[in-house]
Amino acid sequence: MMRKKVLVLIFFGLFSTSGTLMAQTEPEDIAMVNDEFENAFYESLLQKGIENYDKAIISLEKCLKLQPNNATIYSELGRNYLAQKDYKRAYESFEKATIIDPKNKWFWVGMYDVCYETRDFNQAIVIVKKLVEFKKEYKEELVSLYMNTQQFDMALDLINELNDKVGKLELRDNYKAQILRDPKYQSAERNNLIEQIKKNPKIEANYTALIYLYNENNQKEKAQEVAKKLEAEIPSSDFAQVNLFKMHVENNDAVNVIKSMNLVLASPKIDTKIKHRILNEFLLFVNDKPQYDGDLEKAISYFDNDKEVPVAKEIGKFYHTKKQWDRAIHNYEIHLRKNPEDIEAILLLFEAYMEKGQFDAMARKSEEMMQLYPTQPQFYYYNGLANNQLKSYKKAKDALETGMDFLVDDIALEINFNIQLGETYNGLGDMKKKEQYFSKAEKLLKQKK
């Protein structure tokens, strides 16, 4: 009796299709048929539950003999055949269920499941279009199916429709980016974006997407027109400034270059990679314009908390390679205020000091580093070199002789130590030791070759 209570709701739907067939049958016969049907169907559920699909199918076939037009039985057969990976019979069973009862969504879902399992995406599209009539959300599935079947024009149209009606989705955005790598779809997308801007002039994303497409196709003037329109419609837009920055650079309009750059670098909306690109372009723009060094320093300050790229140090290196020593020194010093233990930057700074002849600064900084890193021979070397140049030979001697004790397998540095010690003893008037160190340096040079 408990079993029959559990199945009451299931059988309500099952028996509704057979009412007409039994209308003229004796009550005793109806009860017998109902019991037989109920037992067979219950048995099929039991067998399916323990994954004994063959026996479940046998029980369902008994049900069909009693109720040959019962859509639910065909659907259950489909589920069992699908579990057995008998895809042909599974599809046929679900299809028969939809013919009997086309308004039951789950029968169509069964057909879709078979198509998905067999990767028959073209047929799946046909079925999902039917499922969309039941539930609009199936359009998301339709987008993926269009992508799988490379029907990119259909996918793009549907993506734009969904973006417009229900808002953007990351997966759709990724699909769209994939489609738009092919130039043949870009024209349709440009037209779509132009139309979207006309309809919704306050949506920033449409402008930025259109600017991107124009830039990708080297249509800079059109990109700039859209950027100006964006700035006019949404004055607070930071994205407009990215493209306007480029325009101002091309026009050599320094005032507006700096204005646009500062707006971009201060914006929390704009990706760090874009900001780095803007800074690099500004660096090239002011390369021969030292009057804008203050603006460059301000731009660098926006990256103070950048954990990935030491911006001031990299700009220092940029000027280092161009032998613009003052600017290299300035940027290394900015970097070292926040990163005082960056040994590479310190050694680059010493090189720049040496090239500029700033030996007082080198002596002070190397003395400080000798205290912090008492076993780093490079700092003793630069201290000795600086004090030699400053004619403080006693200080040079102490630093160089101490530093030599920390040298390990670095012939190039050992050569430099010996040269500087030769200079030191020359300054101290000890010609014998001067020749001794110069001779040792010469031997090491030959050994290095």
Q: What is the DSSP string of 298-313?
A: HHHHTTTT-SS--HHH
Q: Is 274 helix (H, G, I), strand (E, B) or coil?
A: helix
Place of tokens 């073209």: 122
Residues in the chain: 449
pLDDT digits over 181-199, tens only? 888 888 888 888 888 899 8
Nearest to 263 by CA among 285, 241, 247, 244: 241
Rounded to an integer, what distance in angstroms lies between the CA atom of residue 159 and that of residue 140?
A: 8
Rounded to an integer, what distance in angstroms lies between the CA atom of residue 411 and that of residue 413?
A: 5
Q: What is the pTM of this model?
A: 0.57
Nearest to 122 by CA among 150, 102, 93, 82: 150
| CATH 1.25.40.10 domain extents, the chain | 1-118, 358-449
The pLDDT value given to residue 11: 40
Q: What is the DSSP string of 395-411?
A: HHHHHHHHHHTT--S-H
The pLDDT value given to residue 141: 94
Q: Of all helices (H) and strands (E), which one includes residue 229?
A: helix 220-233
Pick the CATH number of 358-449 from 1.25.40.10, 1.10.10.10, 2.30.30.60, 3.40.50.2020: 1.25.40.10
Residues of the chain with pLDDT under 70: 1-34, 449
Extract the tokens encoding 69: 């037009």
Diameter of the chain measured on Cα atoms = 134
Q: Tell me how many degrees the CA angle 297-315-366 measures, rounded to the nearest 5.
A: 95
Q: Is 153 helix (H, G, I), strand (E, B) or coil?
A: helix
Place of tokens 């799946």: 124
pLDDT digits over 375-430, tens only? 999 999 999 999 999 999 999 999 999 999 998 888 899 999 999 999 999 999 99
| CATH 3.40.50.300 is the classification of domain 1-118 | no
Q: Tell me how many degrees the CA angle 153-158-159 measures, rounded to the nearest 5.
A: 95
